[in-house]
A and B are shown apart, each in its own frame.
Chain A
Amino acid sequence: MSQTAEMTRPTTSNESNAIVLDRVNKWYGTLHVLRDVSMTVGHKERVVVCGPSGSGKSTMIRCINRLESHQEGRIFVDGTELTDDLRALDTIRREVGMVFQSFNLFPHLTILENCTLAPIWVRKMPKAEAEALAMSYLERVKIPEQAKKYPGQLSGGQQQRVAIARALCMKPKIMLFDEPTSALDPEMIKEVLDTMIGLAEDGMTMVCVTHEMGFARRVADRVVFMDRGEIVESGTPTSMFEDPQTDRLKLFLSQILRGH
């Protein structure tokens, strides 16, 4: 049985939750893109966010590490509130890894350099140690042999796996995925999803914006459905997909099923 948004309002002060969003509002000019969005993500919880395009799901996930700033409401990440305080922001960005739709690897650096950059410059790790760490994560995403190549020489699926390894090299507590498979050719989606499933099975806290319902069923503890800037419904994958409560979710599900 899935619940409507009204029933999932979280408590604000929270050490025990990984992420807390409390009545977050955001506007682009006069466009109200996030409307009273409230959500909590527990440690080791895997949350999949879905919804039609323009529903604000990417904006919401980008607010969690402040690539976008919210205008009203409060956001806590690992107990630290996101404000204009740059030191708090630094702390949070170290703990939160992000994977983008368009990979955003640094094209002028090799795969290995992409992975070691942040550990060396942000975590102040010695170079040799950072490289060993990077190689271990590249092995985990199954492309250690590409370490000396440049991003432009890799396929989309390989690039996205490198992007995951790059984020993991910062040893984040939380991983955010913003439509990680949307820019990929169909035959490459599986290799990226497999990597993400492996990550989920290792107990990583994950928030993932995706339309991959198979992935949601397999790994998500909870699915959140957003539409027009608000959370409309949330619940377990099974209850959400098999017993949707709202017309908007029913419509959305019918649309993506038709698309497949």
Chain B
Amino acid sequence: MNQNTTIAKVHPVPATAGATAPGSAPFNQSGSRAHPPIASTGVIGWLRGNLFRGWFSSAVTLALGYFVVKWVVGLVYWALIRAHWTVPISANGQPDPSVCRAATDGACWAIIGEKYRFVLFGLYPYAEQWRPAICVALFIALYCISASRRFWRKELLVVWIATLALIGALMWGGFAGMTFVSQDAWGGLPITLMLATFGLAFAFPLSVLVALGRRSTNLPAVKLLCVLYVELIRGVPLVSLLFMASVMFPLFMPVGLNPDKLLRAQVAFILFAGAYLAEVVRGGLQTLPKGQFEAADALGLSYWRKTSLIVLPQALRLVIPPLVNTFIGFFKDTSLVLIIGIFDLLTAGKAAMADPIWNGFSTEIYLMLAAVYFMFCFAMSRYSSGLEREFNRNRNR
């Protein structure tokens, strides 16, 4: 170890530096040397500096490297080499996964081929599952359109309302030859996307209003209300809020007037997400210099113009990373509706695993679920970093 560091220290001092006192003339030293020391750059330099710095570092690197390689080899072996992609159909017309059972060291991807439609669309009538499939496509198209700054104008709101209405119409059906499908039969990915889309679409504007209210100086009642809302909702777990929505809330409602369970869960979700997002937005509002507010005031802009033209555009840009972080968190948190029996993607996956024929192949289903969640979350993450870059291109040297 000492050997290494000594060399590293001695090396950068060029021959001419011997004449000057060490450390006394930094300009002379750097001026006399055109290149950094060779050993500190390049792949080898990086390896030596970060992975093999002394015997202890080298030992840890080798030990960890051994486990990583072993794990990756094992995964490839399990997921690809020894995997079964199809299983034969048994005499009674059901698939027979006994070949998978016999080979325990390989994945049984056949379960995905068999179950993916159930996982994605739940109990929705099999022959009608093109409808939720179109709905998922519509959701994704809606996200893509909304993601482009070119479309950030008032008409986008109309597109949203129209698309969401179309999705509702397709899911319910009951017209144009489509059979009516009750909400109880909906399930899988469309439910997850509904919870997430409606949840965040309502929670975000709510959070902006709450954050503004919490900073209000001349409306103390509004401020108090906003503080109470945030602190109360943040103080309880989402699970308990969902229980309240599904179990307690109906107790207080008059008989016959009982909103649907999905709607109740949706409202609980909006309230919860709203409280968290409000704190993120408030953080952005607080970083804005006072001068920005004063300049807007001095120009005679009204409160709402000042807020929408000056304050929010800047504040929200500043909080894109934590905002998207919260969005991603809540996208995944929609899976908590599992515990109140709403048939979202995770619930559908759990139901698929419960099929006795396929008993024991839950890993494959979990991996599929993870892949679906990952696709959406990773897309959000990439989008946010792109947005950040675009916003910062012209600003602040």
Contacts and interface: CB of A to CB of B under 8 A. Distances in A.
B298 A106 contact: no
A171 B300 CA distance: 12
B237 interface: no
A67 B300 contact: no
Interface in B361-395: 391, 394-395
Question: SS class of chain B's interface: helix, strand, loop or mixed?
Answer: helix
Contacts of A93: 297-300
B395 A152 contact: yes
B397 A152 contact: yes
B299 A100 contact: no
Interface in B288-308: 289, 291-292, 294-302, 305
Contacts of B394: 149-150, 152-153
Nearest to B300: A93
A122 B299 contact: yes
B397 A166 contact: no
Contact of B299 (A103, A107, A108, A170): A170
Given A90-B300, A98-B298, A108-B314, A121 B309 contact: yes
B317 interface: yes
Nearest to A176: B298
A104 B306 CA distance: 14
B160 to A, nearest CB: 24
Contacts of A170: 299-300
B298 A97 contact: yes
B396 interface: yes
Nearest to B295: A104
A106 B301 CA distance: 13
A106 B295 contact: yes
A65 B294 CA distance: 10
Contacts, number: 70
A65 B305 CA distance: 18
B301 to A, nearest CB: 6
Contacts of A117: 299, 301, 309
B291 A104 contact: yes
Interface in B308-332: 309-310, 313-314, 317
A189 interface: no
A98 B301 CA distance: 13
A69 B292 CA distance: 18
A100 B291 contact: yes
A105 B295 CA distance: 8
B297 A150 contact: no
Contacts of B395: 107-108, 150, 152
A149 B292 CA distance: 19
A94 interface: yes
A118 interface: yes
Interface string A137-171: 00000000000011011000000000000110010
Given A93-B299, A152-B395, A121 B305 contact: yes
Interface centre among B295, B297, B309, B317 (most CB of A within 10 A): B295
Interface string A100-138: 101111111000000001100110000000000000000
B300 to A, nearest CB: 4
Given A152-B395, A153-B394, A108 B317 contact: yes
Nearest to B313: A108
Interface string B154-197: 00000000000000000000000000000000000000000000
- List the 8 shortest-distance A-B pairs measured between CB atoms, nearest first: A104-B295, A93-B300, A104-B291, A118-B299, A98-B298, A152-B396, A150-B394, A122-B300
24 contacts: A65-B298, A90-B300, A93-B297, A93-B300, A98-B295, A100-B291, A100-B295, A100-B298, A104-B291, A104-B294, A106-B292, A106-B296, A106-B310, A107-B395, A107-B396, A117-B301, A121-B305, A122-B299, A122-B300, A122-B301, A150-B394, A152-B397, A167-B298, A167-B299
Given A104-B295, A108-B313, 17 more contacts: A65-B298, A93-B297, A94-B300, A100-B294, A102-B289, A102-B291, A104-B289, A104-B291, A104-B294, A106-B292, A108-B395, A117-B309, A118-B300, A122-B300, A152-B394, A153-B394, A170-B300
